[in-house]
Amino acid sequence: MDPIQTLLSNGTGRTLLKRVGVAPPPTLRRHEPGAPLLVGPAVAAAAGAGALLKPAVAALEAAGARVLAGTDESAERLGLILFDAGDISDPAGLVSLHEFFPALLRRLAPSGRVVVLSRPHESAGDAAAVAAQRAVPGFVRALAKELRGGATANLVVVGAGAEEHLASTVCFFASARSAFVDGQVVRLGAPTVPGSAAEPAADAPLAGRVVAVTGASRGIGAAMVRAFARDGAHVVGIDVAAGASPLAELMADVGGTHVVADVTAPDAGARIAAASRAAFGRLDGIVHNAGITRDKKLVNMSKAAWDAVIAVNLEAPRRITLDLLEEGALTAGGRVVLVSSIAGIAGNLGQTNYAASKAGVIGLVEAFSAALEPQGITVNAVAPGFIETAMTKAVPFGIREAGRRLSSLRQGGLPVDVAETVGWMLDARSDAVTGNVVRVCGQGLIGA
């Protein structure tokens, strides 16, 4: 428990902190196997014909949600407010956002969700339509900052041909799996190689998928191993010799397999491919999670610190991805997930090496997603904000508390929050999700 949470756990501490303007952070609802998708019914409506609304509602209903019409005027607390803004074709039409949301927002339950659907603005048509669709992300990001009680708002921009491929994405943002993802904009495009359209077995969206995770022995990597195995995946965990014993224990516990390897070793990709084939016959996805920091202001930074961070965080994911492709280990329908950081978006004092490496990772997403699209291999990244791990425990107190509190959700995230987001990217149904960098940061102010 952090010092402020400790104070908040007793009456006197709470009163004291309230006096200085520190309110207790909301408790976030997180995914529990067997729990319903939503905390209450959804209300769904569209600004026009609603070409996106129909498949989105179908996906929610298939996942067990009860969906009410936009005209619903009951007092029932809502788990989700879904709005298709894709038909708004001029600035005047944006008023439908103002007309639709306010009354419903008062009914949104704690940890409720707002999901807005829109069209890519750049291909929306004339200047009025481009402006109207370009306005929607601004609206959603601002609305996310107004929500309370652990509720979130996110936007899904659906390109032509992706309408029938939005199920996993809408369900992810509607669900408790996206607990720490707030104010984000995700773009879906028509997949060149369609993935599975089949509804996954309840609570097993990754059933049968073979997924490798680097840096798997602890922190976010270990949370990924557990979450993916819980969701039905076969997991291959990779970590350095120092983490060999916890890695072996964890992988045995989840029925996976492991490779003790340094990701910077020239044969790391070949060894990951071989271990996946030997244990499970193939590899469907790789998550480049291993990462290090060697913080110092640039004037004091050694070349060794610079080189180590670039080698582990940026060069290893690039080379291992290329090696897996060359080996034929990643094929059509494959998934590559990189782990960036908000430091790679906003920069961070004392982290020129780390920020450069994590911004470079975004470059890898751009280059690989374009190059691998014809093969139906998706490439995305998560950019975690403040996540409670050994890495952030080492951050000085003041910076740590700022990182925790200065976000719309007013707390740090948990490793499982990053894991759930990566799990959605790995899902066979997420075939339209490529080239995205999704912040898992509770809409942190840093880099927003």
Nearer Cβ to ligand NAP (214/321): 214
| Distance (Å, whole) CA 67 – CA 181 | 23
Contact 398, 17 (CB under 8 A): no
Q: Does 312 bind ligand NAP (CB under 6 A)?
A: yes
333 scored as a contact of ligand NAP (CB under 6 A)? no
Q: Which one is catalytic: 101, 354, 368, 424?
A: 354
Longest Cα pair distance anywhere in the chain, in angstroms?
64
Closest distance between ligand NAP and the C-beta of residue 17, in Å? 24
Q: CA torsion angle for 214, 215, 216, 219 (degrees, to 10)? A: -140
The site string for ligand NAP over 215-254 (x = CB under 6 A, - otherwise) reads: x-xxxxx-----------------xx-xx-----------
Burial of 274 (0-12, 13-18, 19+ CB in 10 A): middle
> What backbone phi and psi angles, to 5 degrees, belong to 198?
-65, 140
Q: How far is the CB of 397 from ligand NAP (least distance, A)?
A: 16
Q: Which is nearer to ligand NAP, 40 or 243 (CB)?
A: 243
Token look-up 């927002």 returns 105
Which sign does the torsion angle of CA 64, 50, 170, 444 carry?
A: negative
Q: How many residues bind ligand NAP (CB under 6 A)?
A: 28
For residue 411, CA distances in Å to 177, 299, 382, 442 come to 17, 32, 18, 8
State which residue, 191 or 317, has the beta carbon closest to ligand NAP: 317
The backbone region for 173, taken as left when phi is positive above 0, alpha when psi lies in -120 to 50, beta otherwise, is alpha
Query: Toward ligand NAP, which CB reaches closer, 152 or 289?
Result: 289
Q: Does 40 bind ligand NAP (CB under 6 A)?
A: no
Residue closer to ligand NAP, measured from CB, 130 or 391: 391
Q: Which stretch binds ligand NAP (CB under 6 A): 113-121, 257-265, 295-303, 322-330?
A: 257-265
Of the candidate spans 18-26, 72-80, 187-195, 210-218, the one that interacts with ligand NAP by CB under 6 A turns out to be: 210-218
Determine the distance from the C-alpha atom of residue 244 to the mean position of all C-alpha atoms in its chain, rounded to a whole number: 28
Which C-beta is closer to ligand NAP: that of 133 or that of 313?
313
Output the smallest distance, CB 290 to ligand NAP, in A: 4
Torsion angle in degrees (nearest 10) through CA of 367, 165, 54, 172 = -80
Binding-residue pattern over the window 129 to 168 for ligand NAP, x denoting contact by CB under 6 A: ----------------------------------------
Of 384-403, binders to ligand NAP (CB under 6 A) are 384, 386-387, 389-392
354 is catalytic: yes
Closest CB to ligand NAP among 90 and 249? Answer: 249
Minimum CB–partner distance for residue 241 and ligand NAP (Å): 8
Tell which positions 268-297 bind ligand NAP, by CB under 6 A: 289-292
Candidate residues 111, 214, 407, 411; the one interacting with ligand NAP per rule CB under 6 A: 214
**Spatial contact of 435 and 379, defined as CB atoms under 8 Å apart:** yes
Asked if 436 is part of the footprint of ligand NAP (rule: CB under 6 A), the reply reads no
Among residue numbers 62 through 81, which ones bind ligand NAP (CB under 6 A)?
none
The footprint of ligand NAP (CB under 6 A) covers 214-215, 217-221, 239-240, 242-243, 262-264, 289-292, 312, 339, 341, 384, 386-387, 389-392
By annotation, the residues acting in catalysis are 354
